[in-house]
Amino acid sequence: MPRYKIILEYDGKGFVGWQRQANGLAVQQAVEEAIHAFSGETVTLFGAGRTDAGVHALGQVAHFDLRRDFSADKVRDAVNAWLRPNAIVVLAAAVVGEDFNARVSAIARHYLYRIADQRPPLALRRGRVWHARGPLDAGAMHDAARGLVGKHDFTTFRAVQCQANSPVRTLEVLDISRQGTEIHIRATARSFLHHQVRSIVGSLHMVGVGKWTARDLTDALAARDRTRCGQVAPAEGLYLTAVDYPDNAD
Protein backbone atom coordinates (compact mmCIF):
# COMPACT_ATOMS: atom_id res chain seq x y z
CA MET A 1 0.00 0.00 0.00
CA PRO A 2 1.79 3.19 -1.15
CA ARG A 3 2.10 6.17 1.19
CA TYR A 4 2.04 9.71 -0.14
CA LYS A 5 3.50 12.84 1.39
CA ILE A 6 2.01 16.16 0.29
CA ILE A 7 2.93 19.77 1.02
CA LEU A 8 -0.04 22.10 1.28
CA GLU A 9 -0.64 25.81 1.10
CA TYR A 10 -3.95 27.24 2.26
CA ASP A 11 -5.80 30.35 3.33
CA GLY A 12 -7.28 29.49 6.72
CA LYS A 13 -10.12 31.98 6.41
CA GLY A 14 -13.41 30.14 6.00
CA PHE A 15 -12.17 26.86 7.48
CA VAL A 16 -12.80 25.63 11.03
CA GLY A 17 -9.15 24.65 11.23
CA TRP A 18 -7.11 21.68 10.10
CA GLN A 19 -8.94 18.91 11.92
CA ARG A 20 -12.35 17.56 10.94
CA GLN A 21 -15.14 19.03 13.05
CA ALA A 22 -18.91 18.88 13.10
CA ASN A 23 -19.36 22.66 12.94
CA GLY A 24 -17.98 23.36 9.47
CA LEU A 25 -15.50 22.52 6.73
CA ALA A 26 -11.96 21.68 7.84
CA VAL A 27 -8.86 21.63 5.65
CA GLN A 28 -8.38 17.94 6.43
CA GLN A 29 -11.91 17.14 5.28
CA ALA A 30 -11.62 19.13 2.06
CA VAL A 31 -8.41 17.35 1.06
CA GLU A 32 -9.72 13.91 2.05
CA GLU A 33 -12.79 14.48 -0.12
CA ALA A 34 -10.62 15.58 -3.05
CA ILE A 35 -8.50 12.42 -2.72
CA HIS A 36 -11.64 10.29 -2.65
CA ALA A 37 -13.02 12.08 -5.72
CA PHE A 38 -10.06 11.17 -7.90
CA SER A 39 -9.10 7.79 -6.44
CA GLY A 40 -12.42 6.35 -5.25
CA GLU A 41 -10.77 5.54 -1.92
CA THR A 42 -11.70 6.82 1.53
CA VAL A 43 -8.54 7.94 3.33
CA THR A 44 -7.48 9.52 6.59
CA LEU A 45 -5.12 12.46 6.14
CA PHE A 46 -2.52 12.98 8.87
CA GLY A 47 -1.09 16.49 9.19
CA ALA A 48 2.09 17.78 10.78
CA GLY A 49 0.26 20.57 12.61
CA ARG A 50 -3.35 21.06 13.68
CA THR A 51 -3.76 24.69 12.70
CA ASP A 52 -6.70 26.55 14.26
CA ALA A 53 -9.57 28.23 12.45
CA GLY A 54 -8.26 31.18 10.45
CA VAL A 55 -4.59 30.13 10.59
CA HIS A 56 -2.84 29.90 7.22
CA ALA A 57 -0.19 27.53 5.88
CA LEU A 58 2.61 27.94 3.37
CA GLY A 59 4.14 24.52 4.01
CA GLN A 60 1.80 22.20 5.90
CA VAL A 61 2.85 18.56 5.46
CA ALA A 62 0.49 15.59 5.48
CA HIS A 63 0.46 11.93 4.52
CA PHE A 64 -2.11 9.32 3.49
CA ASP A 65 -2.22 5.77 2.13
CA LEU A 66 -3.88 4.45 -1.01
CA ARG A 67 -4.38 0.90 -2.22
CA ARG A 68 -3.59 1.80 -5.83
CA ASP A 69 -0.30 3.15 -7.17
CA PHE A 70 -0.28 6.63 -8.67
CA SER A 71 2.64 8.80 -9.65
CA ALA A 72 3.36 11.70 -7.33
CA ASP A 73 2.58 14.19 -10.11
CA LYS A 74 -0.78 12.50 -10.71
CA VAL A 75 -1.65 12.80 -7.03
CA ARG A 76 -0.67 16.47 -6.92
CA ASP A 77 -2.56 17.46 -10.05
CA ALA A 78 -5.66 15.34 -9.42
CA VAL A 79 -6.11 16.51 -5.84
CA ASN A 80 -5.69 20.13 -6.94
CA ALA A 81 -8.32 19.68 -9.63
CA TRP A 82 -10.86 18.40 -7.11
CA LEU A 83 -9.98 20.97 -4.45
CA ARG A 84 -11.28 23.86 -6.53
CA PRO A 85 -12.64 26.36 -5.55
CA ASN A 86 -11.31 25.86 -2.00
CA ALA A 87 -8.30 28.03 -1.14
CA ILE A 88 -6.08 24.97 -0.70
CA VAL A 89 -3.28 23.89 -3.03
CA VAL A 90 -1.01 20.84 -3.08
CA LEU A 91 2.40 22.32 -3.82
CA ALA A 92 4.23 19.00 -4.04
CA ALA A 93 3.67 15.28 -3.62
CA ALA A 94 6.03 12.36 -3.14
CA VAL A 95 5.85 8.62 -2.59
CA VAL A 96 7.42 7.84 0.81
CA GLY A 97 8.17 4.80 2.94
CA GLU A 98 5.55 3.34 5.22
CA ASP A 99 7.53 4.49 8.26
CA PHE A 100 7.07 8.17 7.35
CA ASN A 101 4.55 9.98 9.55
CA ALA A 102 3.87 13.65 8.90
CA ARG A 103 3.33 14.38 12.59
CA VAL A 104 5.56 11.93 14.44
CA SER A 105 8.55 12.11 12.08
CA ALA A 106 8.79 15.92 12.21
CA ILE A 107 11.82 17.36 13.96
CA ALA A 108 10.95 21.06 13.67
CA ARG A 109 7.97 23.26 12.88
CA HIS A 110 8.34 26.84 11.69
CA TYR A 111 5.75 29.58 12.17
CA LEU A 112 5.54 33.17 11.01
CA TYR A 113 3.30 35.79 12.60
CA ARG A 114 2.67 39.03 10.72
CA ILE A 115 1.59 42.25 12.45
CA ALA A 116 0.79 45.41 10.50
CA ASP A 117 1.23 48.50 12.69
CA GLN A 118 0.41 51.15 10.10
CA ARG A 119 -2.30 53.69 10.97
CA PRO A 120 -4.36 53.46 7.73
CA PRO A 121 -6.73 50.50 7.27
CA LEU A 122 -5.64 47.44 5.30
CA ALA A 123 -6.84 46.54 1.83
CA LEU A 124 -4.99 43.66 0.15
CA ARG A 125 -3.63 42.24 3.41
CA ARG A 126 -6.93 42.22 5.26
CA GLY A 127 -7.47 38.82 6.88
CA ARG A 128 -3.81 37.86 6.38
CA VAL A 129 -2.11 39.98 9.04
CA TRP A 130 -3.05 41.33 12.47
CA HIS A 131 -3.75 45.04 12.09
CA ALA A 132 -2.63 46.04 15.57
CA ARG A 133 -2.37 49.42 17.19
CA GLY A 134 1.05 50.91 16.89
CA PRO A 135 3.61 51.98 16.11
CA LEU A 136 5.41 48.99 17.61
CA ASP A 137 9.01 48.94 18.80
CA ALA A 138 10.37 45.88 16.98
CA GLY A 139 13.76 46.22 18.68
CA ALA A 140 12.25 46.10 22.17
CA MET A 141 10.13 43.11 21.16
CA HIS A 142 13.18 41.29 19.81
CA ASP A 143 15.21 41.95 22.93
CA ALA A 144 12.37 40.81 25.20
CA ALA A 145 11.82 37.65 23.15
CA ARG A 146 15.30 36.40 24.05
CA GLY A 147 14.00 35.52 27.49
CA LEU A 148 11.60 32.98 26.03
CA VAL A 149 14.12 31.12 23.87
CA GLY A 150 15.20 27.73 25.21
CA LYS A 151 13.55 25.05 27.31
CA HIS A 152 10.83 26.40 29.61
CA ASP A 153 7.51 25.61 31.22
CA PHE A 154 5.18 27.58 28.93
CA THR A 155 2.02 27.21 31.06
CA THR A 156 1.46 30.98 30.87
CA PHE A 157 1.39 30.81 27.08
CA ARG A 158 -0.71 27.65 26.80
CA ALA A 159 -4.44 27.50 26.06
CA VAL A 160 -6.59 26.25 28.94
CA GLN A 161 -7.96 23.50 26.69
CA CYS A 162 -4.48 22.37 25.55
CA GLN A 163 -4.27 18.56 25.69
CA ALA A 164 -0.47 18.21 25.66
CA ASN A 165 0.88 16.00 28.43
CA SER A 166 3.49 18.57 29.46
CA PRO A 167 3.74 22.38 29.24
CA VAL A 168 7.53 22.14 28.77
CA ARG A 169 8.76 22.99 25.30
CA THR A 170 12.08 24.06 23.77
CA LEU A 171 11.71 27.21 21.71
CA GLU A 172 14.68 27.12 19.35
CA VAL A 173 14.02 30.39 17.51
CA LEU A 174 11.99 33.47 18.40
CA ASP A 175 13.06 36.27 16.09
CA ILE A 176 11.35 39.63 15.60
CA SER A 177 12.15 42.01 12.75
CA ARG A 178 10.56 44.93 10.96
CA GLN A 179 9.67 44.43 7.31
CA GLY A 180 8.34 47.77 6.06
CA THR A 181 4.98 48.38 7.70
CA GLU A 182 4.96 44.91 9.23
CA ILE A 183 6.51 43.22 12.25
CA HIS A 184 7.46 39.61 11.49
CA ILE A 185 7.75 37.16 14.36
CA ARG A 186 9.37 33.82 13.47
CA ALA A 187 9.21 30.86 15.85
CA THR A 188 10.73 27.40 15.57
CA ALA A 189 10.37 24.38 17.85
CA ARG A 190 10.00 20.64 17.55
CA SER A 191 6.42 21.05 18.74
CA PHE A 192 4.21 23.80 20.11
CA LEU A 193 1.44 23.97 22.69
CA HIS A 194 -2.09 24.97 21.74
CA HIS A 195 -2.16 28.76 21.16
CA GLN A 196 1.48 29.05 22.25
CA VAL A 197 2.64 31.24 19.35
CA ARG A 198 -0.43 33.46 19.40
CA SER A 199 -0.16 33.86 23.18
CA ILE A 200 3.50 34.84 22.94
CA VAL A 201 2.75 37.29 20.13
CA GLY A 202 -0.01 38.95 22.15
CA SER A 203 2.37 39.41 25.06
CA LEU A 204 5.16 40.71 22.80
CA HIS A 205 2.66 43.24 21.47
CA MET A 206 2.43 44.60 25.04
CA VAL A 207 6.19 45.14 24.92
CA GLY A 208 5.98 46.72 21.48
CA VAL A 209 3.51 49.39 22.60
CA GLY A 210 5.48 50.08 25.78
CA LYS A 211 3.03 48.64 28.30
CA TRP A 212 5.39 45.80 29.29
CA THR A 213 9.15 45.60 29.73
CA ALA A 214 11.33 42.60 28.94
CA ARG A 215 11.26 41.83 32.68
CA ASP A 216 7.45 41.79 32.65
CA LEU A 217 7.54 39.17 29.90
CA THR A 218 10.00 36.88 31.69
CA ASP A 219 8.09 37.33 34.95
CA ALA A 220 4.92 36.21 33.16
CA LEU A 221 6.76 33.13 31.88
CA ALA A 222 8.13 32.32 35.35
CA ALA A 223 4.67 32.69 36.92
CA ARG A 224 3.38 29.63 35.05
CA ASP A 225 -0.05 31.22 35.27
CA ARG A 226 -2.34 31.56 32.25
CA THR A 227 -3.91 34.72 33.69
CA ARG A 228 -0.51 36.47 33.40
CA CYS A 229 -0.53 36.14 29.59
CA GLY A 230 -1.28 39.13 27.41
CA GLN A 231 -4.09 38.98 24.89
CA VAL A 232 -4.06 36.05 22.48
CA ALA A 233 -3.21 37.43 19.04
CA PRO A 234 -5.84 36.74 16.35
CA ALA A 235 -5.48 33.69 14.11
CA GLU A 236 -5.37 35.65 10.85
CA GLY A 237 -1.73 36.70 11.27
CA LEU A 238 -0.32 33.20 11.82
CA TYR A 239 1.27 30.97 9.16
CA LEU A 240 2.71 27.47 9.39
CA THR A 241 5.58 28.05 6.98
CA ALA A 242 7.50 24.75 6.95
CA VAL A 243 8.05 21.43 8.68
CA ASP A 244 11.46 19.75 8.87
CA TYR A 245 12.21 16.03 8.78
CA PRO A 246 15.38 13.96 9.12
CA ASP A 247 17.22 13.43 5.84
CA ASN A 248 16.11 9.78 5.78
CA ALA A 249 12.48 10.46 6.69
CA ASP A 250 11.25 10.08 3.10
d(Cα 29, Cα 27) in Å, to the nearest integer? 5
Is residue 130 within 8 A of residue 236, CB to CB? The reply is yes
In the chain, the number of structural domains is 2
Question: Residue 64 has what pLDDT?
Answer: 98
Question: Residue 205 has what pLDDT?
Answer: 97
- Final residue of a structural domain among 105, 121, 145: 105
- Whether residues 149 and 239 share a domain: the answer is yes
Neighbouring residues of 57: CB distance < 8 A, sequence distance ≥ 6: 8, 9, 10, 12, 27, 49, 51, 239, 240, 241
> Residues 38-61: what's their mean pLDDT?
97
Question: Residue 16 has what pLDDT?
Answer: 96
Q: What is the residue range of 22's domain?
A: 3-105
User: Is residue 134 very low, low, confident or very high in pLDDT (cuts 50, 70, 90)?
Assistant: confident
In a domain, 250, yes or no: no
Quick one: 119 exposed, middle or buried, by C-beta within 10 A (0-12, 13-18, 19+)? Answer: exposed
> Residues 88-96: what's their mean pLDDT?
98
Q: Percent of the chain at pLDDT above 70?
A: 99
Neighbouring residues of 249: CB distance < 8 A, sequence distance ≥ 6: 96, 100, 105
- Final residue of a structural domain among 58, 79, 105: 105
Residue 248 has pLDDT above 80, yes or no: no
- Whether residues 124 and 186 share a domain: the answer is yes
- Whether residues 154 and 50 share a domain: the answer is no
Question: Residue 247 has what pLDDT?
Answer: 83
- Whether residues 221 and 161 share a domain: the answer is yes
Question: Residue 1 has what pLDDT?
Answer: 85
Task: Give residue-wise pLDDT tens across range 140-179.
Answer: 999 999 999 999 999 999 999 998 999 999 999 999 999 9
In a domain, 47, yes or no: yes
- Whether residues 131 and 226 share a domain: the answer is yes
Question: Residue 36 has what pLDDT?
Answer: 98
User: Is residue 250 very low, low, confident or very high in pLDDT (cuts 50, 70, 90)?
Assistant: low
Residue 86, CA distances (Å) to 25, 117, 225 in order: 10, 30, 39
Task: Give residue-wise pLDDT tens across range 23-42.
Answer: 999 999 999 999 999 999 99
- Whether residues 62 and 128 share a domain: the answer is no
- Final residue of a structural domain among 105, 125, 148: 105
- Whether residues 57 and 84 share a domain: the answer is yes
Three state DSSP letters for 21-58: ECCECCHHHHHHHHHHHHHCCCCCCEECCCCECCCEEE
> Residues 9-16: what's their mean pLDDT?
96
Catalytic residues: 52
Residue type, 250: D
Q: Percent of the chain at pLDDT above 90?
A: 95
Question: Residue 22 has what pLDDT?
Answer: 86
In 11-31, which positions are buried (b, 16+ CB within 10 angstroms) versus exposed (e)? bbeebbbbebeeeeebbbbbb
- Whether residues 139 and 239 share a domain: the answer is yes
- Whether residues 215 and 149 share a domain: the answer is yes
Residue 249 has pLDDT above 90, yes or no: no
In a domain, 24, yes or no: yes
